Structure 1
Amino acid sequence: MTDVRVPDEAAGERLDVFLAETVGSRAKAQKLIEAGLVLVDGKPRQKRYALLGGETIEVAAAPEGPREEVPPAEFEIAYEDDRLIVVNKPAGVVVHPGVGNREGTLVQALAGRVAGGTDPDRPGVVHRLDRDTSGLLVLARDEETLFALQEALRRREVTREYLALVEGRPPARRGTIDAPLGRDRRVRTRMSTDTDDPHEAITHFETERTFPNDTLLTVTLETGRTHQIRAHLLAIGHPVAGDPEYGHAGRHGLSRQFLHAQRLAFNHPETGAPMELRAPLPEDLVRALREASGERTDHAV
């Protein structure tokens, strides 16, 4: 049983929309409501019920069916020593367990090789990548290293550089998006600048290459909010190509957003030596670039 208190600012929001954030999707929220597994202040309500604010929502666990065998997460080690591991994560891999993704995660595949932190679901996790964002992330192998890397991240001493193909062409070749982000007022699964709970968010971008209808950007994060790059680029009118949540799915044959963490740089927490690692662009993104440029690809044949 999970209890969720409805904040005052959620007054007027539909029950199923509000619950989507907690259970993972609006469709799952609707199924739980229809199954009678959701109570608002002890009473069953319809999915379209308008919340008043201040209520307590009780969500009972759905009966478990037969558990499917989930294969271990795939990944490549870009660097490893006694203190830390840098992983090149493919798209489709979830970093740590969460709602709707309890098995098959990266930290489970690295069990016994990463450690640190108070959350048993997130051992050694310094920062994350979205499930369908590929590229580099660093994990700690002990408590001291985790603290040092998190402090370096907080002091903005870790460089996280991405490649993002976006729809259209930004008005300037380079720029900074300084716009606080939080949970969107209407679409609770999204982060946006239209929020009641804003947090500082700063993203820098520079044009790498232009195409007839798209632009390839190098993007660096100064802060690290959830979905920051995707939400910020949408906010300036240039969503990430192929993004099913913030843009248009399927663009240039993509089955996920064109976002890749290509470069990671920081000072080693033990030795102080500068570290710089790069991850090549995955083949699905290479194909999308060819299609964006107008070249024939296997997908276009």
Structure 2
Amino acid sequence: MKFIIEKEFENTRLDKFIRKKYEGVSLNEIFKLITKGKIKVNEKKQKQNYRLQNGDIINIISNQDILIKEKSFISLNETDISMIKSDIIYEDNNILIFNKQPGLVMHKGSGYKYGLSEMLKSYLQNMNFTFVNRIDKSTSGLIIGAKNLSTVRDISALIKDRKIEKYYYILVNGIPKEKEFAVKSFLKKTKTKVIELDKYEDGAKESISYFKIVKTFDKKTILEAKLGTGRTHQLRVQLSEMGLPIVGDSKYGQDDNSIMCLFSHRVIISKYIIDVNLNIPDFFH
């Protein structure tokens, strides 16, 4: 098998490139193939951390003892295709923004043969498509996808530098005391969940969220939240600790068998002049 490196893979590590192109092969197995000279770049042995250059030629020599399966697209039925078309909110040559429905998983694994990532790869016929951010299975709303590696790197850097704005609509049990408020705390992952701490300790990360009331009901409130940081379960934990658990959040609230009312409704990527904003979803009502 031979690959000629194009510009979008420039500066990618050799082992990561092979892992992206093939499934069922661990990084340890790839390392062995490179060490044994079964994978060569420009007819020469290279280390696994070799940074690929535009125009490099990779040759993979396999035998009966080394079975490598090239990644293939999953099959989509008409229902899948219809769902994907209806939930693509924004698309250009580099970026795709998708409205994920509650209950859908982002990636294969944990008992799921495929997730939205694999479905979009197949729909676009593009193995390089990647969701740059992710949300929980029970969370819904906007997620950002990139169609090529250079855009993946760029969007990832913007997220890391907090240059992408993300807003959520949230239905909570209870009514906050203030119309607008901010929460700054430290969150730490445990084996089973994320816990909130008043002060820093090893493994904890500073987490900042900004909230304002959109609408109040008898015993519930719709909030809009803006993320200052993007920690795992950040909004869910902080609101629960305030006594404002999210409706439908069985992990940090109460299990009432309803859809979790946490919806990523707005994404602003100023560098790309993108501002996508959705209304409060029907299931909130």
Letter in 2 for 1:192: I
Letter in 1 for 2:134: R
Q: 1:151 aligns with which of 145, 154, 157?
A: 157
Q: Deviations over 1:185-210 (max 9, x none)?
A: xxx32111158621121111111111
What value does the CA root-mean-square deviation take over the aligned residues? 2.3
Quote the Cα distance in structure 2 between the aligned partners of 1:200 and 1:97.
30
Q: Check 1:192–1:115 CA distance in 2 against 1; reply closer, same or farther (3 A cut).
A: farther
Q: 2:225 aligns with which of 219, 225, 235?
A: 219
Aligned 8 A contact 2:249 2:255 in 1: yes
Structure-to-structure mapping, 1:165-244, within 5 angstroms: 165-184=171-190, 188-194=191-197, 197-244=203-250
Quote the Cα distance in structure 1 between the aligned partners of 2:195 and 2:131.
24
Aligned 8 A contact 2:170 2:224 in 1: yes
Quote the Cα distance in structure 2 between the aligned partners of 1:231 and 1:100.
26
Q: Deviations over 1:150-201 (max 9, x none)?
A: 11111111111100011111222111111111114xxx32111158621121
The reply to whether residue 109 of structure 1 matches residue 115 of structure 2 is no
Aligned-pair identity in percent equals 28
Which has the larger strand fraction? Answer: 2
Give structure 2 stretches of 5+ with no counterpart. Answer: 1-74
1:276 is matched with 275
Q: Secondary structure at the match of 2:177?
A: coil
Q: Deviations over 1:101-137 (max 9, x none)?
A: 3x23100101154665xxxxxx522111111111111
Aligned 8 A contact 1:87 1:138 in 2: yes
Aligned 8 A contact 1:88 1:279 in 2: no
Q: Secondary structure at the match of 1:193?
A: strand
Quote the Cα distance in structure 1 between the aligned partners of 2:243 and 2:76.
38
Shift of 1:97: 2.2
> Taking structure 1 as the reference length, what is the TM-score of the superposition?
0.62
Q: Check 1:80–1:70 CA distance in 2 against 1; reply closer, same or farther (3 A cut).
A: closer
Q: 2:146 aligns with which of 135, 140, 157?
A: 140
Letter in 2 for 1:81: D
Shift of 1:249: 2.3
Quote the Cα distance in structure 2 between the aligned partners of 1:196 and 1:190.
16
> Taking structure 2 as the reference length, what is the TM-score of the superposition?
0.65
Aligned 8 A contact 1:241 1:257 in 2: yes
How many residues were matched structurally?
201
The reply to whether residue 78 of structure 1 matches residue 84 of structure 2 is no
Q: Check 1:125–1:115 CA distance in 2 against 1; reply closer, same or farther (3 A cut).
A: farther
Aligned 8 A contact 1:115 1:140 in 2: no
Quote the Cα distance in structure 2 between the aligned partners of 1:198 and 1:129.
20
Quote the Cα distance in structure 2 between the aligned partners of 1:224 and 1:104.
25
Q: Secondary structure at the match of 1:212?
A: coil
Letter in 2 for 1:91: P
Give structure 1 stretches of 5+ with no counterpart. Answer: 1-68, 117-122, 287-301
Aligned 8 A contact 2:179 2:212 in 1: yes
Q: Secondary structure at the match of 1:218?
A: strand
Shift of 1:273: 4.1
Quote the Cα distance in structure 2 between the aligned partners of 1:273 and 1:265.
9
- Larger Rg: 1 or 2? 2
